[in-house]
Amino acid sequence: MTGIDDLPIRDELRGKSPYGAPQLEVPVRLNTNENPYPLPEPLVARIAERVTEAARNLNRYPDRDAVELRTELARYLSRTAGLEVGVAQVWAANGSNEVLQQLLQTFGGPGRTAIGFEPSYSMHALISRGTGTGWISGPRNDDFTIDVDAARRAIAEHRPDVVFITSPNNPTGTAVAAETVLALYEAAQAARADAAGALVVVDEAYGEFSHRPSLLPLIEGRPRMVLSRTMSKAFGAAGLRLGYLAADPAVVDAVQLVRLPYHLSAVTQATALAALEHTDTLLGYVEALKAERDRLVSELRTLGCEVTDSDANFVQFGRFEDAHAAWQSLLDRGVLVRDNGVPGRLRVTAGTPAENDAFLDAVRELMKEKS
Ligand code: PMP
């Protein structure tokens, strides 16, 4: 039988595993930071209308520059994220993973490096590998905040071409202060002053769930700062696959060099536009989820867990001597959470109140067993 390694694949892919959060059929699925609320019926109907219209033109390629969609995304950011941005500053792709891939294809690549502060979103390292970009694992403090001095030192030492800052961070839920982002931006530009600077990517996939305002205003006057967002979480549309970035128009021009022609299908553009018409209803669900997230933090603490403060739609909790055994024992009780490989800790996504109750009941039993 032929295995992957018998094929002439690139050396750096040999022996590696793909991204793979388990997709298991269990009663309570709280493992991939999805929004638990299905889209409201009036929005489902609007999507059907918009997609029907798009279907009549499917013999043609879609709007390659997705101008209407980018205009509406710019309006959404301008209204909710603290900075007026225009269509020339916004770019969209199939999920923010594709946005990040396009950024690495443009600003990373063979002979170049990217740094992230781990534990963080595992795809930053995986997309780096996929694009031939060297990966540097930067440090965090024991409380999972970014150690600014250590981060600065790592940037000065490795002189990365791309710096990832995830705020709120996945899997820890930790928000990053604007001053920290600015300090790392300055450090990254200073380290590569001889080479047109470095790109700093603020991954704000969970931005809408934060107690803090968006970091979007930081892009103003900083052409090497990019903010990445997604409709997968706050808009409850993980199945849609729509991510976007906001940055200087030059960054948007630069990613055109690597994007595939017509990468965003007409169906995707129509669906995303319909969802953006229902922003206020969807942001109402975000408020409910933030309250449930805060409840999870406080109830887990009451149950004796060590819980990391969270600004996202998920919560990191522990500590377990054997996190994987704890994960299995919650699964045996019908609750799927995530083991991200952070020693002693697991991550739970905020679900509906009923799902969260089921999860908390399972943890209560687990903690009893433990003591
Ligand atoms: N960034 C972070 C920090 C994430 O956690 C995720 C999804 N889990 C993404 C980006 C990618 O999301 P999507 O491709 O669905 O937009």
Q: Is the ipTM of this complex over 0.90?
A: yes
Closest CA to 161 of 205, 116, 120: 116
Ligand 1 centroid to residue 213 C-alpha, Å: 19
Dihedral in degrees, nearest 10, Cα atoms 97, 72, 170, 175: 140
For ligand 1, whether the C-beta of 169 sits within 6 Å is: no
Ligand 1 centroid to residue 367 C-alpha, Å: 31
Instruction: Give the pLDDT band (50/70/90) at residue 137.
Output: very high
Ligand 1 centroid to residue 282 C-alpha, Å: 18
Instruction: Give the pLDDT band (50/70/90) at residue 12.
Output: confident
Query: Which atom of ligand 1 sits closest to the CA of residue 238?
Result: 15
For ligand 1, whether the C-beta of 121 sits within 6 Å is: yes
**Closest Cα to atom 6, ligand 1: which residue?**
205
- Residue located via tokens 């999920």: 95
**Within a 13 Å sphere around the CA of 138, how many CA atoms are in the beta-carbon half?**
32
- Biggest alpha carbon–alpha carbon distance for the chain: 64
Contact 203, 121 (CB under 8 A): yes
For ligand 1, whether the C-beta of 96 sits within 6 Å is: yes
d(CA 194, CA 227): 24
- For residue 16, pLDDT beyond 90: no
- Averaged pLDDT, 127-138: 97
Side chain identity, residue 265: S
The helix/strand/coil state of 349 is strand
**Closest Cα to atom 1, ligand 1: which residue?**
205
- For residue 323, pLDDT beyond 90: yes
- For residue 250, pLDDT beyond 90: yes
Mean pLDDT rounded to a whole number for the chain: 96
Burial class of 354 by CB neighbour count within 10 A (0 to 12, 13 to 18, 19+) = exposed
Burial class of 303 by CB neighbour count within 10 A (0 to 12, 13 to 18, 19+) = middle
For ligand 1, whether the C-beta of 97 sits within 6 Å is: yes
- For residue 358, pLDDT beyond 80: yes
- Averaged pLDDT, 337-352: 96
Inter-CA distances, 44 with 47, 209, 234, 274, 292, Å: 5, 23, 16, 9, 25
Percent of the chain whose pLDDT exceeds 90: 94
d(CA 194, CA 270): 44
- Averaged pLDDT, 160-187: 98
For ligand 1, whether the C-beta of 119 sits within 6 Å is: no
For ligand 1, whether the C-beta of 208 sits within 6 Å is: no
Instruction: Give the pLDDT band (50/70/90) at residue 19.
Output: confident
For ligand 1, whether the C-beta of 243 sits within 6 Å is: yes
Contact 228, 99 (CB under 8 A): yes
Report the pLDDT value the prediction gives residue 153, as an integer from 0 to 100.
98
Enter the DSSP assignment of 39: P
Ligand 1 centroid to residue 205 C-alpha, Å: 6
Ligand 1 centroid to residue 97 C-alpha, Å: 6
Least confident span in 16-20, 59-63, 81-85, 192-196:
16-20
Instruction: Give the pLDDT band (50/70/90) at residue 136.
Output: very high
Ligand 1 centroid to residue 123 C-alpha, Å: 8
Ligand 1 centroid to residue 330 C-alpha, Å: 24
- For residue 21, pLDDT beyond 80: no
Report the pLDDT value the prediction gives residue 65, as an integer from 0 to 100.
97
Condensed to tens digits (0 to 9), the pLDDT of residues 258-280 reads 999 999 999 999 999 999 999 99
Query: Which atom of ligand 1 sits closest to the CA of residue 169?
Result: 3
Report the pLDDT value the prediction gives residue 320, as an integer from 0 to 100.
96
For ligand 1, whether the C-beta of 114 sits within 6 Å is: no
For ligand 1, whether the C-beta of 209 sits within 6 Å is: no
- Averaged pLDDT, 168-190: 98
- For residue 24, pLDDT beyond 90: no
Report the pLDDT value the prediction gives residue 18, as an integer from 0 to 100.
85
Report the pLDDT value the prediction gives residue 334, as an integer from 0 to 100.
96
- Averaged pLDDT, 286-299: 98
For ligand 1, whether the C-beta of 33 sits within 6 Å is: yes
Burial class of 186 by CB neighbour count within 10 A (0 to 12, 13 to 18, 19+) = middle
Ligand 1 centroid to residue 179 C-alpha, Å: 24
Which of 53-85 are b and which e, b meaning 16 or more Cβ less than 10 Å from the residue's Cβ? ebeeeeeeebeeebeebbebbbbbbbeebebeb
For ligand 1, whether the C-beta of 95 sits within 6 Å is: yes
d(CA 96, CA 247): 14
Helix (H) or strand (E) holding 369: helix 353-370
Ligand 1 centroid to residue 303 C-alpha, Å: 30
Spell out the domains of the chain, with CATH numbers in brackets.
24-38+280-370 (3.90.1150.10), 41-277 (3.40.640.10)
Phi, psi angles (nearest 5°) of residue 17: -110, 145
- Averaged pLDDT, 124-146: 97
d(CA 63, CA 66): 5
Please, what sign has the CA dihedral across residues 227, 208, 33, 280?
A: negative
Beta strands in the chain (DSSP E): 28-29, 90-93, 113-117, 134-138, 162-166, 199-203, 225-230, 243-246, 306-307, 314-318, 335-336, 346-349
Query: Token pair of 180, please?
Result: 């920290």
Task: Say how many Å lie between the first and final Cα of the chain, rounded.
Answer: 49
Q: Of the residues 35, 73, 97, 144, which should be mutated to test ligand 1's pocket, given the most ligand atoms within 8 Å of the CB?
A: 97
Q: Is the pTM of this model over 0.90?
A: yes
Closest CA to 311 of 105, 172, 189, 154: 172
Side chain identity, residue 39: L
